[in-house]
Amino acid sequence: MEYSAFSGMINDVVSLEVDENSVVSIDETVHFNKKVRITAANGSSIYLRGKSIVESESSLICRDSSKMNICDSRISWRSHLMFICNSELIMEKDSLLQGLSEMFGLQGRIVIGAQTTIARCSEIRCHFSSIEIGKDNMFSQFVKMVAGDGHKIFDSDGNLITHKECIKTGEHVWLGMGACLLSGSDVGSGSIVGAQSLVNKVIPPNAIAAGNPAKVLREGIRWER
């Protein structure tokens, strides 16, 4: 077991449970500001390094050899991160997860690129798969990503047909409000996915795609934050 004492501004309750194989390494600049629950069990790791701030009532849970590496990033209020069974979360420098958002990994790997911002009430779930979000993505509110169906599906011959394909986004991708990306989604750099659109295929770079299923409406576009 190896975990550093907290320092910086921690105003209220933090309940921390770690077992003997866990590593929780928290940089001294972390500001937990009220009620954070950190659980790390069975060889799990949680790293929160420089400039990380976990705001009110967030919880981070790592179990069964899972890892979270949240470096120079920010998780806002009432967000919930739960990683179980050999899962991994990496939030690269200056990425942001806004309030009321959730991330879940079950034998999954989620990488969130540097400067990517995920607006509130978004949900990212990864079951037996991986999600690679590129740099400088902008997710609007209520975005959903679901890699891996999460439950077993069999065809009429009894073959397992559960989707496990990963989800990818390039750099500088904008997902409109309520967009949903399923397994097999691969959104090219510079593209926009329209509000409430459902993607499960490849979207080329610098395109606008929208609808259910999302179709390319325009190509050769660019957008600014």
Which pair of tokens denotes residue 162?
């559960």
CB of residue 217 to ligand COA, shortest distance in Å? 4
Give φ, ψ of 102 to 5 degrees.
-135, 145
Taking the least distance from each CB to ligand COA, the nearer of 173 and 208 is 208
**Residue numbers at the binding site for ligand COA (CB under 6 A):** 140, 176-177, 192, 194-197, 208, 210-211, 217-218
Mark residue 28 as left, alpha or beta (left: phi above 0; alpha: psi -120 to 50; beta: remaining): alpha
CB of residue 5 to ligand COA, shortest distance in Å? 39
Which pair of tokens denotes residue 213?
């299923």
The pairing of strands 144-147 and 180-182 is parallel
CB of residue 40 to ligand COA, shortest distance in Å? 34
Taking the least distance from each CB to ligand COA, the nearer of 41 and 208 is 208
Q: List Cβ neighbours of 14 (8 Å cut-off, separation of 6 or more).
A: 6, 32, 35, 36, 37, 38
Taking the least distance from each CB to ligand COA, the nearer of 109 and 144 is 144
Strand order in the sheet with 102-106: 14-18, 36-41, 59-63, 80-84, 102-106, 123-127, 144-147, 180-182, 198-199
Distances (CA, A) of 192 to 27, 39, 72, 111, 135: 36, 36, 26, 20, 14
Taking the least distance from each CB to ligand COA, the nearer of 22 and 101 is 101
Distance CA 121, CA 106 (A): 20
CB of residue 212 to ligand COA, shortest distance in Å? 7
CB of residue 179 to ligand COA, shortest distance in Å? 7
Taking the least distance from each CB to ligand COA, the nearer of 16 and 195 is 195
Taking the least distance from each CB to ligand COA, the nearer of 105 and 188 is 188
CB of residue 139 to ligand COA, shortest distance in Å? 9
Single-letter amino acid code for the residue at 131: I
Single-letter amino acid code for the residue at 52: S
